[in-house]
Amino acid sequence: MRIIVITGVSGSGKSTAVRALEDEGYYCIDNLPVRLFMPFVDLLAKSDEDFKGIVLVADIRGREFFKGYENAFHKIAAAGHTVEIFFFDALDDILVRRFSETRRRHPVEGQCTVVESIRIERDRLSSLRQIATRIIDTTEFTVHQLKDFILRIVRGEEKENQLIIEVQSFGFKYGVPLESSIVMDVRFLPNPYFVPELKNGSGLDDKIRDYVLENVVTAQFLDHFFPLLDMLLPAHRQEGKSYLTISIGCTGGRHRSVAIAEATGMHIQETWPSVRIIHRDIEKGLK
């Protein structure tokens, strides 16, 4: 069986990866005592259940794990199973921000600050990191980008050197998306919000899309913007990027940015097959 061990620092996206693998057909179990690794693998291997493999999550929460993981991995491999160790990591400031946003308590015991806890955790995980099959840095990933990345790895698709592009609309009044690789401000375009019969719609509606895209200023803008993207996307791919987020913003994120994001996504899809279009603030734009 294929055995994937998910480990790494807290806040680095392990739970997100596990959910993606579970949906993919892997049997996932979190924080299993290390002494039960081999019995558990044997049990599933002999069962009639149809799984693509097993995912074992092991990290700093399992104190005894660090005393016996090497022996456990050796036994599993000796039984003929494939063992892969995915070590998840991220920059310290990103980890601190994630803990701040979720208000989670760091699993390191004591009255340490989050920064101190991250340092202690890194020290304890250092030997495990050295034997990892793959180190996954999630610093620049959004949740769905991480899910896509993990699935590409387990499916063997990451060797395709494919650039995954996300085009998203947003409203500047709600903040610029932090994951943006390219940000374009389209607040200079005519605003349907001030047209009474268009105000309550969105950039997905035909009338609003036509209002935005058929404007002379919009046409001039796109004549420059699309060729710029045609030059930038291959350059980003050449630099080794796997994901690229193009964020297009207007004031509220409901009209202009939505219409331009849709047009941009359609243009990019002519050359790049993996394009996702999302509208972050489309439901907030009238508030």
Query: Mind listing the pLDDT tens digit for each residue in 105-141?
Result: 777 766 778 888 888 888 888 888 888 888 898 887 8
For residue 218, is it left (φ>0), alpha (ψ between -120 and 50) or beta? alpha
Average pLDDT across the chain, whole number: 87
| pLDDT value at 161 more than 70 | no
Bigger pLDDT: 142 or 262?
262
What does the pLDDT average to over 220-246? Answer: 89
pLDDT of 88 > 90? The answer is: yes
Q: Is the confidence at residue 237, as pLDDT, over 60? A: yes
Residue 217: partners with Cβ closer than 8 Å, 6 or more residues away: 188, 189, 190
Give the Cα separation of 255 and 266 in Å (integer): 17
Cα distances from 22 to residues 56, 87, 144, 212, 284, in angstroms, run 11, 18, 15, 42, 32
Q: Can you give the length of the chain in residues?
A: 287
Question: Given a cut of 60, is residue 159 above it in pLDDT?
Answer: no
* Predicted local distance difference test score (pLDDT) of residue 198: 93
Write out the two tokens for 140. 């620049």
Compute the Cα dihedral for 76, 81, 82, 87 and give only its sign: negative
Q: How far apart are CA 192 and CA 195, in angstroms?
A: 5
Is pLDDT of 182 > 90?
Answer: yes
Q: How confident is the model at residue 65 (pLDDT cuts 50, 70, 90)?
A: low
Say if residues 51 and 21 touch (Cβ distance below 8 Å).
Answer: no
pLDDT tens digit sequence for 21-58: 999 999 998 888 888 888 888 888 888 788 888 998 88
Domain 2-159, CATH class in plain words: alpha beta
pLDDT attached to residue 119:
87
- Element containing residue 8 per DSSP (H, E): strand 2-8
SS3 of residue 243 by DSSP: strand
pLDDT at 64: 64
CA distance 258 to 263: 9
Q: C-alpha angle 22/27/33, rounded to 5°?
A: 115
Over residues 90-97, the mean pLDDT reads 87
Q: Tell me the whole-structure pTM to 2 decimals.
A: 0.61
Rounded-to-5 percentages of helix, strand, coil across the chain: 45, 20, 35
- Provide the pLDDT for residue 158: 60
User: What are the extents of the domains in the chain?
Assistant: 2-159, 164-279
**What is the reported pLDDT for 231?**
95
Closest CA to 213 of 168, 157, 260, 155: 260
- Residue 173 to residue 199: CA distance in whole angstroms: 17
Asked if 252 and 173 count as a contact pair (C-beta separation under 8 A), the reply is: yes
* Residue 48: CB atoms within 10 Å: 4
What distance in Å separates the CA atoms of residue 135 and residue 122, rounded to the nearest whole number? 13
CA 66 from centre of chain: 28
Q: Are the C-beta atoms of residues 248 and 222 closer than 8 Å to each other? A: no
Q: How confident is the model at residue 63 (pLDDT cuts 50, 70, 90)?
A: low
Question: What average pLDDT does this structure show over 15-19?
Answer: 92
**Cβ contacts of residue 260 below 8 Å, gap of 6+?**
169, 184, 186, 189, 203, 212, 218, 222, 248
Amino acid 23 reads D
